[in-house]
Amino acid sequence: QYTASAPAAAGLSKAVVVFTDGQDTICPPSQLVTCRNNSITLAKNGGVSIFTVGLGAEVDTGSLTQLSSSTGGIHLVASNPQQ
């Protein structure tokens, strides 16, 4: 079973790849920054890099870039599903 607290195998890094439009549907609008910062803290504490791929016409590039760059990942945008 994988958990963020489990050590990575020797020579390997832990990473998560997220395909999303970046629109948060869980956190209340007044707490979006706090929720994103909590996710960043959890990933950093667990040694997990987050790589984000923005999908759709209305990608929240700013949030996804912050999430990925703050954890050692990168943010990419796919302008269509075939990419």
- Angle in degrees, CA 51, 49, 38, rounded to 5: 100
**pLDDT for 1:** 43
**pLDDT for 5:** 67
Q: Sheet containing 14-20: which strands, arranged edge to edge? A: 14-20, 48-55, 75-78
Residue whose entry in the numeric block shows the structure tokens 């703050």: 70
Q: Examine the pLDDT at 51 and tell me if it is beyond 90.
A: yes
Token reading at 7: 């050590």
Give the confidence band of 33 by pLDDT, cuts at 50, 70, 90: very high
Contacts of 62 (CB under 8 A, 6+ apart): none
Rounded to the nearest integer, the mean pLDDT of the chain is 90
Give the confidence band of 80 by pLDDT, cuts at 50, 70, 90: confident
